[in-house]
Amino acid sequence: MRSIGPLHFTEFHFHSHRHSIPSQTMAACSSSILLFLLFGLLTIRSHKSVRALTSPSDIAALMAFKSAVKPSSIPSWSCLASWNFSSADPCSSPRRTFFTCGFSCSSSDPSRIIQLTLDPAGYSGTLSPLISDLSMLTNLDLADNSFYGPIPPSISSLSELRTLTLRSNSFSDSIPPSVTSLRSLESIDLSHNSLSGPLPKSMDSLTNLKRLDLSFNQLSGSIPKLPPNLLELALKGNSLSGSLEKSSFDGLTQLEVVELSQNSLSGAIEPWLFLLPSVQQVDLANNTLTRLDIEKPSAGSDNNLVAVDLGFNSIEGNIPVNLASYPGLSSLSLRYNQLRGVIPAEFSQVQPLRRLYLDGNFLSGKPPAAFFTSETALSGSIGYNCLEECPASSQLCVPSQKPVAICRTS
């Protein structure tokens, strides 16, 4: 708020030959001036009582945050450009000119910053370790910018943090193990960065975490024991290796989405994965998996499996007929593996099945005739196999089958 400068009054010159101002009039003027000054002071005090003054530690943290961003990367129209600490207080209101966006203050304690949510303006810089001084922060979102360097370990001081979103930046180095001490976290999205190294070993200590997305980084090593209340797990597009261990997924009764494609996972896919009580989507495409073991869901179980993608692996053997026992399965991809044998007729009897990709294997025999009836709504491909009598008129048979010479020698 602007300060009120000294009041200036016009100087009156009185001359003996002019009419003098009566003393009663002078007294009335003085009373009016005093009343005006008193009203001004009361107004100033009243404004101070309704306007929040941001906590000094929060102001210092915001200043440090902005100073770590390259000035040349702050567009004039952006949120950060409006952060002018010499002209306004961050949490004061209304914010028509300064501090117009990029953060929120608490309604219960208007002196504290609770959200730092930047606009995607292309900001470039590092994340200041002093971000930890925003101790009441519940949401940190810097997505779709160009921040780089490590994620500061001091972030572990943000004990109230529920959402951490650093998606689509250029953060590098490993994920600080201290992140796992943020027990209030419900969502972590660090996807599309340059993070490397293993996942923190104590991920399972994040007992409130519902969503974990670390996709499209350079993370390596095996999958540790995961947080028990996860709904969504996305680790695709990394360099994770080793086999899928049941111990990593123990107790995940709410897990609905498993996205682990484009890694270097190997070994067998065991029955427990598809029998997780809430799992709906499993994507393990583009790994080096070699075996697929499937068990039928138990009678009367409320299995929710809808979509499975195991394409572009090295899975050998026959297509597991037990996959056709999952009552809600509507999309299945086993394309470009090393599968042999016939296509089980049971797959033509799965009513919800709408998308089926078996192309690029070494499947033989005749495909189920029901695939090609007018009643079927099946899409996908069973092409580039060693099948007999696959109707050329059907889109399912595109591309054409492998040359006989390849099928004979395989």
pLDDT tens for residues 79-96?
999 999 999 999 988 888
Q: What per-residue confidence (pLDDT) applies to 199?
A: 97
Q: What percent of the chain has pLDDT over 70?
A: 87
d(CA 334, CA 341): 14
Residue 352 belongs to what H/E stretch?
none
220 within 8 A of 199, measured Cβ to Cβ: no
Q: Which long-range contacts (CB under 8 A, 24 or more apart) does 365-372 make?
A: 365/341, 366/342, 367/343, 367/396, 368/343, 370/345, 371/396, 372/396
Give the chain's residues under pLDDT 70.
Answer: 1-52
